[in-house]
Structures are given as structure tokens and as C-alpha cells.
Amino acid sequence: MRSIAVAAFGPSLLFGLGQGSIFPIIALSAKELGASLAMAGLIVSLFGIGALLSNIPAALIASRYGERKSMIGAATLTVLALFLCLTASAPSMLALGVLIIGMASSVFLLARQTFLIEAVPISMRARALSTLGGVMRVGLFLGPFAGAALMHFIDLPGAYWVAIAAMAGAGLLSFTVPELETRHLDVNPSSIPRPRIAHILRTHASAFATLGLASALVAAVRSCRQIVVPLWASHLGLDAATTAVVYGVMGSIDMLLFYPAGKIMDQYGRQWVAAPSMVLMGTALALMPLTTGLASFVAVCLLLGFGNGISSGLNMTVGADASPQAGRTQFLGIWRLITDCGAGGGPLVLSGITAVSTLGLGIGAVSSLGFIAATVFWRWLPRRVTR
């Protein structure tokens, strides 16, 4: 872990820092360029849409060019897209820049995951991947503060300049990432034809339909929690400052638990984190509509943060365990597509049920997704990892 720390985690920290610095101000930039509220929301959503559409192409790119070149290329493309956002004179230019950033992030995230899977032994895989997820969360947490510091002097462009510097640093650090060959095959990897996406889908359909479904539900619950907390705080009549403090405390728990979670998964098995984390998050969400004041709301949010914190790196670890040695990058591209669909679909479920019923019932429906994920993990998650 020490020998690859800079190469594996440094670019991810800076990449997360860059993303975190611009996320809060994309909508504001759109408004300054004359976009309506609806258009500003659409522009923000283009980041996720770009990442979703690029998961399969990202797998093909990383498989063809290798992890190091893919990370360098993704960071370079992100810098160019950030300059496009910085100099945008119309909402359409900003929208194109955000879309490209989302697409590049998909390539970067897939390449760094594939690198780490190959670079560390199986006995440390969960710790490595949970640390990777934790480092990204640290970057996303610090990014808004770094952007705000420079915006104090040069307004909105300050956030973009922070992101440009961070992404350029991520690209430079990516030069330290060694190109890894698949080491565990008994034959020369170059003699093996690269598996096609359709073949991977057919061969591993059962894994995608079970563990992939559970991971998609994990992503759905995680994405919904970011919406549920501020919405229910508003329902309780809490002011924005109080809500932000509660949200920040919940996020700090996330960052504190990523390494212990990975160590538990490595030493005792993935089951000891997968099912309990989803039970905790499902329980916290089920209890959320029952809170009536600040004290109970904070207690439930802390439980929600604890459940999310111990699940750090879970989807990446489960996907890595299920992936084949030949065609791993393609498998992980499909895996990310499935989980991204879950992350995007969860809020749709929440908003749809809330629209026809109540917010409390919508939150209850999301909580059931956590219990379903726990059940699927308990039934189909292997007790032992062999590859």
C-alpha cells in the first residue's frame, strides 16, 4: 500500500478535489449566462448523464490503452473542458463542458479502479478499494472549501481555476502510475483475444442480475440519502445553516470509517459489511419520517452516515471480486453502468412516490431498497474470494 500510495491515491484525491470545487457553482454559472432554473438543473445533470453514457466506451478505452494513459488522457480532457466552462459565453457552451467532464470522469474512475485491482494482492483488495473511495470522498469534501477560498478574490472563476489546477495535478501524478499487465494468467496475455462486451454480458449474466442488482440498489440508497436529509430538514423547519452542519457531520463519519470497513472486509469477509451497512441505512431511512425535532433528526442522520461510511468501497470491491481475470475492464465498465443506473434511478423513485403521495412514504420506499440489497447480498455474495 505504501509503495503505490502516491500513484494510486494521489490522482484520485486531486480529481475529487477538482470535482468538489465546481459542483456547487455549475448551476450558478448557468444562471449568470442567462439559463432558466430548469435549464440550470439540466446542465448540472449532464455530469451524471455523461458518466452514464461513457461507462462502456471507458472500458474499451482503458482496455486498449492501459490504465496510465487512460488516466492521463481523462485528466487532460477534463482540463480542456474546464477551460470551456470558464470561458463559456452561452449556456450551451457550459453544458458541453459539463458533459465532457462527466464523460472523462468515467474513464478516469474506471482506469484507477482497474489499476488498483491489479496492483494489490487479493488479501488487501477491500482495504485498497475502500481507501480509494474514501480518498475521493475527502477530495469532494475539501473541494468546495478550496473553491470558496479563491472565489473570495475572483468570484465564480476561482472555483474553475482550483479545479483546473487539481485536474492538472491529477494528470501529472498519473504519470507515476505503472502500466500493469494481467499477472495472474498462466499464459501470455497478448495471446488471448480481448473479450467482447456481449460475451461478458452473456457469460456473467447471473452476477449482473444478482450482485449487480444489489450494488445498483446500494447506489440508489446512497444517492437518495443526499436528497432526503435536506428535504426532511426543511420539513422539520430547520434553517439552512443547521442543515449544513448536520450534513457536514454526517459526511465526516463517512470519511472516518472507510479504512476500518475495508479491513473488516479483508479479514472477515465482504458479508460482514455488505448486508449490515444496507440494514443500517435502510433502518435509518425508515426512521427518518418518525423524527419530529433536531435531536432525533441528528441521531438518525448519524446512523445513516455510519451505515454509508462502512459501505465505502463496497460496490468496487464486490465488482472486482465478481470480475473475470480476462476481460476485467469490460466487466467493470458494465458494472459501473448498472450501478450508475441505480444512482440515477433512486432519486426518480423518491420523487415519483413523493409526487403522488407524501415525502415520508417516498423515504419509506427508498428504505426498502436497502433491505432488499441486504437480502441479495446475504444470499448471493460469496463467503470467500478466490480471484
Chain segment 193-213, per-residue pLDDT in tens: 567 888 899 999 999 999 999
Looking at the structure, do residues 96 and 225 belong to the same domain, yes or no?
Answer: no
Mean pLDDT of the chain: 88
Work out the average pLDDT over 96-113.
Answer: 93
**Which pLDDT tens digit goes with each residue over 246-267?**
888 887 887 888 899 999 999 9
Both 152 and 247 in one domain: the answer is no
**Which DSSP category does 196 fall into?**
P
Dihedral sign of CA atoms 98, 99, 104, 109 in order? positive
DSSP 24: G
In a domain, 186, yes or no: no
Predicted pLDDT at 194? 65
- SS3 of residue 364 by DSSP: helix
Residues 336, 206 share a domain: yes
pLDDT at 272: 93
Compute the distance between CA of residue 78 and CA of residue 167 in angstroms, rounded to an integer.
7
| Residues 110, 202 share a domain | no
Domain termination site, one of 117, 150, 178: 178
Whether residue 363 contacts residue 237, with contact meaning beta carbons closer than 8 Å, is answered with no
Kindly report each contact of residues 152-155 with a partner whose C-beta sits within 8 Å and lies 24 or more positions away, as own/partner: none
pLDDT > 70? residue 190: no
Q: What is the pLDDT at residue 175?
A: 85
For range 222-244, the mean pLDDT: 85
Number of helices (H) and strands (E) in the chain: give both, helices first.
17, 0
Given a cut of 60, whether residue 156 has pLDDT beyond it is yes
What is the tens place of the pLDDT at every residue in 333-371?
Answer: 999 999 999 998 888 888 888 888 888 999 999 999 999
Q: Say whether both 17 and 104 belong to one domain.
A: yes
Helices 240-268, 294-310: crossing angle, 10 deg rounding:
30
Say if CB 246 and CB 301 are below 8 A apart: yes
Q: What was the pLDDT predicted at 192?
A: 52
pLDDT band at 184 (very low <50, low <70, confident <90, very high): very low
Domain CATH code at residue 373: 1.20.1250.20
CA distance 99 to 53: 10
Q: Return d(Cα 332, Cα 323) in angstroms, integer.
A: 7
Q: Cell 433528526, residue?
A: 297
Interval 169-186 mean pLDDT = 69
228 shares its domain with 294: yes
pLDDT the model gives residue 186 = 44
Residue 189 has pLDDT above 80, yes or no: no
Position 250 in a domain: yes
Structural domain harbouring 43: 5-178
The model's confidence at residue 1, banded by pLDDT at 50, 70 and 90, is low
Give the DSSP H or E segment for 249.
helix 240-268
Angle (deg, nearest 10), helices 294-310 and 271-287: 160
User: 143-147, 190-194, 343-347 — which is least confidently predicted?
Assistant: 190-194
Q: How confident is the model at residue 182 (pLDDT cuts 50, 70, 90)?
A: very low
DSSP annotation of 178: P
Q: Count CB atoms within 10 A of the CB of residue 234.
A: 13
Question: CA-to-CA distance for 112 and 287, rounded, in angstroms?
Answer: 37
Cα–Cα dist 167/160, whole Å = 10
User: Are 201 and 174 members of one domain?
Assistant: no
The predicted-structure confidence for 26-85, as pLDDT tens digits, reads as follows 888 888 899 887 788 788 888 888 999 999 999 999 888 888 899 999 999 999 999 999
Please enumerate in sequence order all residues whose Cβ is within 8 A of that of 334, keeping only pairs 6 or more positions apart, or say none: 55, 56, 59, 197, 200, 201, 208, 212
Q: Under a CB-based contact definition with an 8 Å cutoff, are residues 2 and 122 in contact?
A: no
CA atoms within 13 A on the CB side of 202: 5
Residue 387 lies in a domain: no
Q: Which residue has the higher pLDDT, 178 or 387?
A: 178
Cell numbers for 305? 452516515
Q: Considering its fold, how many domains does the chain have in total?
A: 2
Same domain, residue pair 170 and 203: no
Q: Is residue 191 part of a domain?
A: no
**281 vs 356, higher pLDDT:** 281
List the one residue out of 133, 191, 136, 173 whose CA is nearest residue 315.
133
